Amino acid sequence: MLRARSLLVASPVAQLKRVMSTSSTTTTTAAASTTAVTTTTTSEPLSTHLHRVKVLNLPTHENSAIKKFLQSHGVDRFKKAPKWRYAFVNFESEEAAQELMKKLEGVDFKKKTLTTEYSLVNKEAYRERFQSKQKERIEQVENDTRTHAERLADQVTPLHRIPYEEQLTKKHKTGIAHLNRFKRRMTQLQDLNDASKAQIAWAFEKNGLPFEILDPIASPEINGYRTKCEFTIGRSPEGEPTVGFLLGLYRHGITSVLSPDDCLHVPDVSKQIASTMQEYVRHSEYPVYDRVEKIGVWRSMMVKAQKTGDVLILVQLKASDLSEEQLAKEKKKLTEYWTEFGNKDKINVKTLLLQVWDGDSNGITEKGRTETLIGDGYVYEEILGCRFRLSSSAFFQVNTPATELLYTKCAEWCNIDKNKKTTLLDLCCGTGTIGITMARTVDRVIGIEMIADAIVDAKANAEMNNIANVQYHASKVEEKIDVVTNEKNEEVVAVLDPPRNGVHSTVIRAVRESPQIRKVIFISCDAYQAMQNFISLCRPTSNRFKGMPFRPTRAVSIDLFPHTEHCELLIEFVRIEEDEVKQP
**163 or 385, CB closer to ligand SAM?**
385
| CA gap 403, 307 in Å, rounded | 12
Among candidate residues 560, 565, 563, the one with its CA nearest the CA of residue 216: 560
What's the DSSP call for residue 290?
A: B
- The one segment of 82-90, 254-262, 286-294, 391-399 that binds ligand SAM by CB under 6 A: 391-399
What's the DSSP call for residue 217?
A: B
Instruction: Report 416-435 residues binding ligand SAM (CB under 6 A).
Output: 428-431, 433-434
**154 or 404, CB closer to ligand SAM?**
404
Tell me: is residue 355 an annotated ligand-binding position. Answer: no
- Site map 174..193 versus ligand SAM, x via CB under 6 A: --------------------
Q: What is the number of other CB atoms lying within 10 angstroms of the CB of residue 76? A: 9
**383 or 555, CB closer to ligand SAM?**
383
Residue nearest to ligand SAM (CB): 430
Q: Smallest distance from the beta carbon of 110 to ligand SAM, in angstroms? A: 12
- The one segment of 14-22, 252-260, 344-352, 445-453 that binds ligand SAM by CB under 6 A: 445-453
| CA gap 425, 475 in Å, rounded | 14
Among 395, 518, 528, 553, binds ligand SAM (CB under 6 A): 395
| CA gap 114, 204 in Å, rounded | 34
CA dihedral sign, ordered 33, 36, 37, 43: negative
121 binds ligand SAM (CB under 6 A): no
Among 507, 530, 535, 576, binds ligand SAM (CB under 6 A): 507
**168 or 410, CB closer to ligand SAM?**
410
**29 or 437, CB closer to ligand SAM?**
437
| CA gap 231, 369 in Å, rounded | 18
Cα-based distances in Å from 353 to 154, 393, 418, 460, 491: 31, 11, 45, 21, 44
558 binds ligand SAM (CB under 6 A): no
| CA gap 464, 433 in Å, rounded | 12
Tell me: is residue 497 an annotated ligand-binding position. Answer: yes
**62 or 221, CB closer to ligand SAM?**
62
Cα 240 versus chain centre, distance = 30
**317 or 525, CB closer to ligand SAM?**
525
- Site map 476..495 versus ligand SAM, x via CB under 6 A: xxx-----------------
451 binds ligand SAM (CB under 6 A): yes
396 binds ligand SAM (CB under 6 A): yes
Among 30, 266, 503, 569, binds ligand SAM (CB under 6 A): 503
What's the DSSP call for residue 37?
A: B
> What would you report as the CA-atom Rg of the chain, rounded to the nearest whole angstrom?
26
446: β partners: 425, 471
| CA gap 281, 300 in Å, rounded | 11
Among 381, 497, 559, 568, binds ligand SAM (CB under 6 A): 497
Among candidate residues 212, 194, 214, 213, the one with its CA nearest the CA of residue 204: 194
Among candidate residues 484, 525, 510, the one with its CA nearest the CA of residue 397: 525
Helix (H, G, I), strand (E, B) or coil at 129: helix
- Site map 360..379 versus ligand SAM, x via CB under 6 A: --------------------
Cα-based distances in Å from 189 to 185, 186, 539: 6, 6, 8
Tell me: is residue 397 an annotated ligand-binding position. Answer: yes
Half-sphere CA count of 451, side-chain side, radius 13 A: 16
- Site map 34..73 versus ligand SAM, x via CB under 6 A: ----------------------------------------
Among 216, 498, 540, 552, binds ligand SAM (CB under 6 A): 498
Cα-based distances in Å from 55 to 66, 107, 406: 11, 11, 39
Q: Enumerate helices (H) and strands (E) in the chain, giving the number of each.
A: 16, 22
* Number of residues lying near ligand SAM (CB under 6 A): 23
Among 347, 356, 414, 448, binds ligand SAM (CB under 6 A): 448
- The one segment of 3-11, 57-65, 270-278, 442-450 that binds ligand SAM by CB under 6 A: 442-450
Q: What is the number of other CB atoms lying within 10 angstroms of the CB of residue 14? A: 12
526 binds ligand SAM (CB under 6 A): no
Amino acid symbol at 535: I
- Active site (catalytic) residues: 525
Among 262, 449, 526, 572, binds ligand SAM (CB under 6 A): 449
Instruction: State the binding site for S-adenosyl-L-methionine.
Output: 397, 449, 497
Contacts with ligand SAM, residue ranges (CB under 6 A)? 395-397, 428-431, 433-434, 448-451, 454, 476-478, 497-499, 503-504, 507
Instruction: State the binding site.
Output: 397, 449, 497
